[in-house]
Structure 1
Amino acid sequence: MKSTAERLGYGPNERVLIINADDFGLCHSTNKGIQLLLENRVVSSASLMMPCGWAREAALWCARHSQLDVGVHLATTSEWDLMKWGPVYRGGSTQSLVTSEGYFHKDVKTFERRADGQQVKQEMIAQIEMALQLGVNVSHADNHMGSLYGLQTGRDFLKDVFDVCAGFGLPFRLPRFLLLESGDPAPPELAAQALKFAEEADKRGVVVLDYLVALPFHTPTPNETYAQFKAQMISLIQRLRPGVTELFIHPSLVTDELSAFHSEPLRRGMEMEIFRDPEVLEAMRAENIIRIGWRDLRHYQRRKG
């Protein structure tokens, strides 16, 4: 079985990396931070959360910078207590997707249990169409909080995801080869399930990743230092495997706005700095990591389609 990297023309031992900034559109501070990283090519790409209040600002900026890779961060959950968002679909009922207040459910488990599949599909289409209507040259699709993968209850929405991505000609964030947070291969049962999903994507002509990695979303200790965080990131880079890997981060400027609703604003500040750090850049050079963007995968998908 050829890896995605090999399908793109890379050698079987080459390590190819996409660095993606998630949560573009979340708030003004996050927008300003991600814009800076995109303009300076610090990150390869970013993902827009269309239901969020600052998504329009981000989308209009993307329309003016259409040479940059920006995807849609399909959002069906709203996790913060003081910053909320809900569906963008307006053509019918979204009742299964929302709380009594009209916002998305806070956690993935509740979403998986309550969401109607057709309403999920309509919402995904509406989010991508909204980005396109605002002029975004959408490079890919991915998923906020992993709500579409069935990780909590086993009820996934991936067939609908593949239908939607095939319709728009977009690759999707899904690893063909599943790794644990430690970087070790997943147990055989989970690994087989990931391969099965990737094969379904292949049948629909949707290009997926070989690997997907990130540092833990929450800080492992309350007093984590930047030096500790950097050491973890360098170790992660050194352990990258041959193939196309996406490494996703959540960068932002740290401001009163971010701190007003986010539980770990300083961590987002660290993620803002990490790929501008000379030692991290040197680690990537030393490991001969090849940087690409999601547009490379989109081009391959549309050329093959």
Structure 2
Amino acid sequence: MFNPSLPLQDLLNAMPDATLVVDSEGQILICNHLLEELFGYPPRYLEGEMVSRLIPQEQRSAHHQHIQQYMQTPQRRMMGAVMTLYGQKSQGDTFPVDIMLSPLVLDDNKLVICTVRDMTDIKQMQDALTEGLKRERQLARIDALTGCANRRAFMELAEYELERCSRYQRPFSLAYLDLDNFKQVNDLHGHLAGDNLLQNIARRLQSCLRSSDTVARIGGDEFVLLLPETPQNVAKFMLDRLHRQLLEEMAKQHCPVTFSIGVLSCTQAPEHIDHLLKMVDELMYSIKQKGKNAIRYCHFPAIL
């Protein structure tokens, strides 16, 4: 068996990182005090132990095979090459680590110098950054006032639905909803009352629709509803009921607001989402011109 000399021990103790030396079978031959401290072991306890003691319990059964594969063609591996490594301390706690491997032949013995670095602080910073970026992406797709999807999020989801319709012939419906007489609320009661009303309507829309549906606010008092897997007959049942519920809610609040809704059901995808929005907007606007507070349904392509 390889017998480390005192100068090698001194060299390892002078290393700035936790370091150990293992043989071709994965047995720990020598390690420095930083490694013992990092993993919570007393001095010289790890010498003669298998290096698998330092990795999580659930990974140990496969670790010996990994060592054999590595030792067939040992190569230097720098830190940063594998970013999903974890160590296990003497008490059983696991923590993220980064490891550098340096093959070494000494007295005809194939050895590997392993340098281990605790990545807990860096991992926490990375997780915080990832979570922050995730929140930023979410905020970039959420209407700040109502909590609904915004125009950007709607466009992305609608493009996806157009692709599904085109590729798999899956039907969907789109409803463009405009609040009639909303200006009266702002003029008579102020913009705060108008904002509260928009929030209330947004909550009502989200609670009345399915979890697979999308409610988006794309203008001041304009909402669009994206209804996947929804042919015209299903859309008519859903939106007639929704219209009644919205009017009942406004009546309870003694609010003059009503709703003009244009609905376009597609069994064939239009060329572009802008074309789709233009058609359903025109449907809604035609209701405005004829007295407001109604729903108009149309099919794409038109059924003659």
User: Highest CA radius of gyration, 1 or 2?
Assistant: 2
Q: Please state which band the TM-score falls in when normalised by the shorter chain.
A: under 0.3
Given the two structures, how large is their TM-score scaled by the length of structure 2? 0.21
More strand by percentage: 2
